[in-house]
Amino acid sequence: MKIKKYRVCIIGTGYVGLVSGTCFAQIGHHVICVDNNKEKIENLQKGILPIYEPGLEKMILKNKRAGRLFFTTDIAEAVKKSEVVFIAVHTPTKENGETNLRYVEDVSKEVAKAMDKYKVVVSKSTMPVNTGQKIKEIITKFCPKGLTFDIVSNPEFLKEGSAIKDFLKPDRVVIGVESKKAEKIMRDIYKPISSPIIFTSIESAEIIKHACNAFLATKISFINAIACICEKNSANVKEVAVAMGLDKRIGPDFLKAGIGFGGSCFPKDVSAFINVAKKSGYDFNLLKEVKKINKKQREIFLDKIIKNVPALKGKNIAVWGLSFKPNTDDMREAPSIDIINELVLKGAVVKAFDPVATKKAKEVFKDKIIYCKNAQEALKNADALVILTEWENFKKITPEIIKKLMKSPNVFDGRNIFSPQKMARLGFNYYSIGKK
């Protein structure tokens, strides 16, 4: 299969930009990653990454050595050298739930001023519907007169912890276009990836991303609501979820009860989609309830700890897991933040361990908690163990070892990684999600 290689510019070296840029280089394109953070670019040039993602460091090194991947702070030069420009900058949420597009607008203006010939400008970050048209207006206003360009929406569907696989072997690639020329270029760019490509209007592509994440968040909140009902009726949410998941109309994914979703996508995208709906004249009450259930799930879990470990002041609480999910160091919207802060507020001594997120956790908690070198160290003399992230290596530590190291056998499992029956046989006071 003959692959046409393109000169690609990725603006923004956050999670989406860095993974996407590296993977585009991996499939043969010439990629320049741009960021206005000089220190971050200098570190990337040295092979020091701002995020943890399995396999990414090796892939960056491989493509740098192959002469396909470069890093710079010079956006104008990068745009001039590229045929396709991807915008992958941060799109934070305002207090009212609206997406802050300031960085997108600023970058669009810089791209326009640097353009010297036809370009395809692609929005890669998650952006609310009609952002593509806004980018088009900005570029039209600030680019040289008479210059032609195309706007494309190509939303990412990367899960932290499996992002490289998600990029190279996706369920589908969604691309919103306005012209056949842009469609052909985008089809060429993704030709090495043997997955279905869905071409839509720009507006449909923008809504697809929000709709997907909102639906998955709804599924998580739904099973967590079911977990609450199970606990009140001596049922087991795992058994319920297995039976539900075997229904092909429902499927098993995202039916794991726990302490709610976190991270940079679901909380932000749910809020943004509620705001998009409101601006469109629709009151999305369903998603408002999804947010409430997610927040409530943390409160319910915390209440279990407070109720069953009375007089928390001075008690040693071991915490396993700080990142919002395993295989990432991302602390954004992590359930651990609310839960640990409340435990500290009540006077508990929190001794925590996370395989990769400690550095970023220190930026959040500062010196409020004790950071341990391993999971066993956190357990020593603990009055309770609180499990907040389901890292695989936690599952390898036997309950027998846990009990031997702890002062009191109280385990609050927010991710259901142990068997309630086995924990009960060994004499634990075991509190999980969705099981009486």
- CA angle 28/68/144 to nearest 5° reads 95
Of 151, 161, 221, 218, nearest to 186 (Cα)? 151
**Active-site choice (33, 230, 265, 372):** 265
| Residue 228 designated active-site | no
Question: Pairing mode, if any, of strands 30-34 and 316-320?
Answer: unpaired
- d(CA 258, CA 224) in angstroms, rounded, equals 7
Q: How far is CA 54 from CA 60, 133, 171, 194, 436, in A?
A: 12, 35, 20, 22, 36
- d(CA 318, CA 377) in angstroms, rounded, equals 9
- d(CA 263, CA 244) in angstroms, rounded, equals 26
- d(CA 14, CA 88) in angstroms, rounded, equals 8
User: Under a CB-based contact definition with an 8 Å cutoff, are residues 53 and 161 in contact?
Assistant: yes
- d(CA 190, CA 188) in angstroms, rounded, equals 5
User: Under a CB-based contact definition with an 8 Å cutoff, are residues 415 and 395 in contact?
Assistant: no
397: phi then psi, degrees, rounded to nearest 5: -85, 120
Catalytic machinery residues: 265
